[in-house]
Structure 1
Amino acid sequence: MNRNLLRVFSVACFLQACLLMEAKVIPLHDGWVLQGKYKATVPSTVMGVLTDNGEYPGLLEGTAYKNIDRTRFDVPWTYTRTFRLSPAELAGHVILQLDGISYRANVRLNGQLIADSTEICGTYTRHTLDITEKVKNVNLLEIEVSRARAGEPNAGYVDWNPRPADESLGIIRPVSIITCGDVMLKDPSVMSEVNATTLQEAWLQLSVGVRNFSQCEISGFLRGSFDGRSFQVPVTLKGGEEKLLNLTSDAVPQLYVMNPKLWWCHNMGTPTLYRMKLEFVSRERIEDSFTFRFGIREIGDFFTEEGNRGFTLNGRRVLVRGAGWTDDIFMRDTPKTYRLQLGYVSDMNLNAIRMENIWGNSQDVFELCDSLGIMVLPGWTCHWEWEEYLGKPCDELYGGMTSDKDISLMVRYLHDQVLWLRRHPSIICWFVGSDKIPCMPLEEKYRRLLRRIDPSRPYITSAKKLETQLSGTAGMKMAGPYDYVGPSYWYSHKAPGGAIGFNTETGIGAQLPQRESLERMLGKNPWPISSVWGYHCTASASSMGKLDKLQEVVEARYGTPQNLYDFLHKADLANYESTRAMFEAFRVNIPKTTGIIQWMLNAARPGLYWQLYDHYLVPNASYYSVRKGNASLQLIYDYGRKRIVAVNETFLPETLTAEAKLYSLGGDCIGSEQKTFNAESFAVEDVFPLPEFSGNAFLFLYLKDSQGHVIACNDYALTADMDVYDWDASDWISTPISHYADYRSLSEMPTATVAMEVDRQTAGGKTVLTIRLTNQSGIVAFFLRMALTDKQGCLVVPAHYTDNYVSLEPHTERKITCTIEGGRQEKYNLLLDGWNVKKYILKVK
Structure 2
Amino acid sequence: MKTTLQIVKICLFSLLFVQLGAAQQRYELKTDWYCNPVNETQAEGQALSKVSFPIQDWMPATVPGTVLTTLLNNGKVPDPFYGLNNEKIKDIYDTGREYYTYWFVTDFSETAKSGEQVWLNFRGINYSVDIFLNGQKVNPTPYKGMYLRKQFNVTKFLSKEGNNRLAVLVHPADHVGNPNGGQGGDGTIAKGVALQYTAGWDWIQPVRDRNTGIWDKVFIEKTKAVNLKNPHIVTLVDGKRMPGTKQAPATIKVTTELQNTQDHPLSGTLQYTLDGKTVRKDVTLPAQQTTEVALPDLQVQNPKLWWPNGYGAQPLYGIDLQFITGAEISDHEKVTFGIREIQTEWNEHTRSQQIAVNGQKIFIKGGNWIISDAMLRFSEERYDAEIRFHRDMNLNLIRIWGGALPERPEFYEACDKYGMLVIQDFWMSGDCNGRWLDPKKKDDQWTRRQYPDDHGLFIESAADVVKMLRNHPSLAMWCGGNEITPPADILKALKEDVLPQLDGTRWFIDYSNSDEMSYNFKGGNGDGPYGIQDISTFWAEKTWPFNSEVGSVGTGDAASLKRFIPEENQVIPIEMDGTEKVRDEVWSYHKYIDYGDAMEPYGTPTDMEDFAAKAQLVNYNQYRGLIEGFSAHMWDWYTGVIIWKTQNPWTSLRGQMYDYYLDPNACLYGLRTGSEALHGMYDPVKGNIMIANNTFEQQHDIMLRVTAYDMEGNDQQLTQVFCYIEPSSIRLIMSLQRRIQELSAEKGMFLSVQLLNTEQEVLSDNFYWLPDAAGNYSGLQSMAKAPVQAQTTRIAKDKIRLQLTNPSGNTVSFFNRISLIDAATGERLLPTFYSDNYVSLVPGEEKSITLTYAELEKINAKIEIGGWNAPKQVVQIE
- Shorter chain as denominator, the TM-score bin is 0.7 to 0.9
- In 2, distance between residues paired with 1:844 and 1:262? 40
1:801 aligns with 2:844: no
Deviation at 1:402, TM superposition (A): 4.8
Deviation at 1:466, TM superposition (A): 4.3
Q: Any stretches of 5+ residues in structure 2 without a counterpart? A: 1-16, 37-54, 177-190, 242-246, 575-581
Matched to 1:565, the amino acid is: E
Deviation at 1:327, TM superposition (A): 2.1
Deviation at 1:230, TM superposition (A): 0.8
- In 2, distance between residues paired with 1:522 and 1:776? 41
**Structural mapping, 1:5-404, within 5 Å:** 23-35=24-36, 36=55, 37-71=58-92, 74-75=97-98, 76-88=101-113, 91-115=115-139, 119-136=142-159, 137-148=162-173, 149-150=175-176, 151-157=191-197, 158-197=201-240, 199-247=247-295, 252-253=296-297, 255-305=298-348, 306-325=350-369, 326-357=371-402, 359=405, 362-383=408-429, 385-386=431-432, 393=443, 395=445, 400-402=449-451
Other structure's SS at 1:795 match: coil
Q: Which residue of 2 aligns with 1:785?
A: 817
Q: Is the 8 A contact 2:405 2:427 kept in 1?
A: no
Deviation at 1:671, TM superposition (A): 5.1
Q: Is the 8 A contact 1:28 1:177 kept in 2?
A: yes
Matched to 1:366, the amino acid is: Y
Other structure's SS at 1:576 match: helix
Q: Is the 8 A contact 1:107 1:142 kept in 2?
A: yes
**Structural mapping, 1:688-699, within 5 Å:** 688-690=734-736, 691-693=739-741, 694-695=744-745, 696-699=748-751
Q: Any stretches of 5+ residues in structure 1 without a counterpart? A: 1-15, 540-544, 722-740
**Structural mapping, 1:342-491, within 5 Å:** 342-357=387-402, 359=405, 362-383=408-429, 385-386=431-432, 393=443, 395=445, 400-402=449-451, 405-447=453-495, 448-466=497-515, 478-491=526-539
Q: Is the 8 A contact 2:647 2:657 kept in 1?
A: yes
- In 1, distance between residues paired with 2:60 and 2:126? 19
Farther-moved stretch of structure 1 (19-28 vs 193-202): 19-28
Deviation at 1:102, TM superposition (A): 0.7
User: Root-mean-square deviation (CA), in Å?
Assistant: 3.0
Residue deviations 1:60-91 (CA, integer Å, cap 9, x gap): 21111122123468321122111222444x63
- In 1, distance between residues paired with 2:876 and 2:608? 24
Residues 1:402 and 1:521: Cα distance change in structure 2 (over 3 Å): closer
Farther-moved stretch of structure 1 (835-844 vs 93-102): 835-844
- In 1, distance between residues paired with 2:131 and 2:466? 25
Residues 1:711 and 1:748: Cα distance change in structure 2 (over 3 Å): same
Other structure's SS at 2:734 match: strand
Residue deviations 1:395-451 (CA, integer Å, cap 9, x gap): 37x954457x53212211210100111111110011111111123222111112111
Residue deviations 1:142-163 (CA, integer Å, cap 9, x gap): 1111112233232233432112
- In 1, distance between residues paired with 2:96 and 2:331? 40
Q: Is the 8 A contact 1:769 1:819 kept in 2?
A: no
Q: Is the 8 A contact 1:749 1:836 kept in 2?
A: no
Matched to 2:275, the amino acid is: D
Deviation at 1:275, TM superposition (A): 0.9
Residue deviations 1:543-568 (CA, integer Å, cap 9, x gap): xx444x3143323x434212233322
- In 2, distance between residues paired with 1:752 and 1:69? 52
- In 2, distance between residues paired with 1:332 and 1:402? 27
TM-score by length of 2: 0.83
- In 1, distance between residues paired with 2:539 and 2:483? 25
Q: Which residue of 1 aligns with 2:188?
A: none
**Structural mapping, 1:598-677, within 5 Å:** 598-654=643-699, 655-669=701-715, 672-677=718-723
Other structure's SS at 1:702 match: strand
Other structure's SS at 1:745 match: coil
- Aligned with 1:569 (options 613, 632, 650): 613
Other structure's SS at 1:364 match: helix
Q: Which residue of 2 aligns with 1:729?
A: none
Other structure's SS at 2:72 match: helix
Q: Is the 8 A contact 1:107 1:114 kept in 2?
A: yes
1:687 aligns with 2:710: no
Q: Is the 8 A contact 2:123 2:218 kept in 1?
A: yes
Residue deviations 1:748-804 (CA, integer Å, cap 9, x gap): 32322223323243x643251524242555533322222333222311212222222
- In 1, distance between residues paired with 2:310 and 2:668? 17
- In 2, distance between residues paired with 1:482 and 1:360? 24
Other structure's SS at 1:47 match: helix
Q: Which residue of 2 aligns with 1:715?
A: 767
TM-score by length of 1: 0.87
- In 2, distance between residues paired with 1:533 and 1:319? 41
- In 1, distance between residues paired with 2:632 and 2:407? 37
Q: Is the 8 A contact 2:227 2:260 kept in 1?
A: yes
Other structure's SS at 1:171 match: coil
Q: Is the 8 A contact 2:232 2:471 kept in 1?
A: yes
- In 2, distance between residues paired with 1:837 and 1:700? 20
- In 2, distance between residues paired with 1:614 and 1:647? 29
Q: Is the 8 A contact 2:862 2:874 kept in 1?
A: yes
Q: Which residue of 2 aligns with 1:6?
A: none
- In 2, distance between residues paired with 1:666 and 1:289? 69
Q: Is the 8 A contact 1:384 1:390 kept in 2?
A: no
Q: Is the 8 A contact 2:366 2:643 kept in 1?
A: yes
- In 2, distance between residues paired with 1:277 and 1:456? 22
Residues 1:476 and 1:637: Cα distance change in structure 2 (over 3 Å): farther
Q: Which residue of 1 aligns with 2:546?
A: 502
Matched to 1:52, the amino acid is: N
- In 2, distance between residues paired with 1:573 and 1:710? 24
Q: Which residue of 2 aligns with 1:550?
A: 595
Q: Which residue of 2 aligns with 1:749?
A: 782
Q: Is the 8 A contact 1:322 1:354 kept in 2?
A: yes
1:759 aligns with 2:808: no
Q: Is the 8 A contact 2:422 2:474 kept in 1?
A: yes
Matched to 2:781, the amino acid is: E
- In 1, distance between residues paired with 2:278 and 2:726? 42
- In 1, distance between residues paired with 2:414 and 2:439? 31
- Aligned with 1:832 (options 840, 860, 865): 865
Residue deviations 1:432-491 (CA, integer Å, cap 9, x gap): 1111112322211111211111101111111113469xx999x99842011111222112
Residues 1:153 and 1:401: Cα distance change in structure 2 (over 3 Å): farther
Q: Is the 8 A contact 2:118 2:155 kept in 1?
A: yes
Residues 1:94 and 1:840: Cα distance change in structure 2 (over 3 Å): closer
Matched to 2:467, the amino acid is: L
Q: Is the 8 A contact 1:759 1:770 kept in 2?
A: yes
- In 2, distance between residues paired with 1:392 and 1:226? 56
Deviation at 1:747, TM superposition (A): 4.9
Q: Is the 8 A contact 1:327 1:359 kept in 2?
A: no
